[in-house]
Amino acid sequence: MNRLAVVRVRGRVDVRKDVQDTLKMLNLTKANHCVIIDDRDSFEGMLQKVKDYVTYGPIDIDTLTKLISKWGRLEGDVRITDEYVKEKTGKDLVSFCKDFLEFKTELSDLNMKKVFRLHPPHKGYEATKKPFILGGTLGKRDAEINGLIQKMI
């Protein structure tokens, strides 16, 4: 199993009710929000339903470490620091992320929010109405998701 990063690309206008409910279940309420999920069959079905509004792919350790250190937030919009991670888990941030990708720990161990509120990507999206395989942004994009998230950090 892998951890998948899911980024909402399109906004909230003219979204069908069932797609809107699925996006809400994934905690993707606004554009440029990102969540980390695992690739269970139930999530695969949800991603198939919302593929015209999100892009997703497996996240690597470097991107995850930067994402948590820059955009990871606790309740009250408090930034996550390396000292906080060490206090809560006894590990530094890099080893925590490594264990997280190997399913030994969870993000909830840090009591952090599930969603990362990112900026739009530097130099913009390719095309927000086309799938990734046709030169757009939407749908499954495998390892290229890391490049997109790096542009959004």
pLDDT in tens, 32-69: 999 999 988 889 999 999 999 999 999 999 999 999 99
**pLDDT given at position 136:** 86
With respect to residue 38, please indicate whether it lies within any of the assigned structural domains. Answer: yes
| Overall number of domains in the chain | 1
**pLDDT given at position 134:** 86
Domain ranges, residue 146 = 3-60+116-152
**pLDDT given at position 125:** 82
Average pLDDT of 128-151?
88
pLDDT tens digits for 17-30?
Answer: 999 999 999 999 99
**pLDDT given at position 16:** 94
**pLDDT given at position 12:** 87
With respect to residue 106, please indicate whether it lies within any of the assigned structural domains. Answer: no
With respect to residue 79, please indicate whether it lies within any of the assigned structural domains. Answer: no
Does pLDDT of 124 surpass 90? no
pLDDT tens digits for 76-86?
Answer: 889 998 899 99
With respect to residue 15, please indicate whether it lies within any of the assigned structural domains. Answer: yes
With respect to residue 10, please indicate whether it lies within any of the assigned structural domains. Answer: yes
Average pLDDT, the chain: 91
With respect to residue 40, please indicate whether it lies within any of the assigned structural domains. Answer: yes
Average pLDDT of 118-144?
87
With respect to residue 26, please indicate whether it lies within any of the assigned structural domains. Answer: yes
Task: Tell me the CATH number at 122.
Answer: 3.30.1390.20
Structure-token pair, residue 136: 């757009």
**pLDDT given at position 75:** 86
With respect to residue 121, please indicate whether it lies within any of the assigned structural domains. Answer: yes
**pLDDT given at position 37:** 93
**pLDDT given at position 62:** 94
Q: Provide DSSP, 132-151.
A: GGGTSSBEE-GGGHHHHHHH
pLDDT tens digits for 80-113?
Answer: 988 999 998 888 999 999 999 999 999 888 889 9
87/104 Cα distance (integer angstroms): 17
- Name, in order, each residue with C-beta under 8 angstroms of 67's C-beta and a sequence gap of 6 or more: 5, 34, 59, 116, 149, 153
Residue with tokens 């250190």: 69
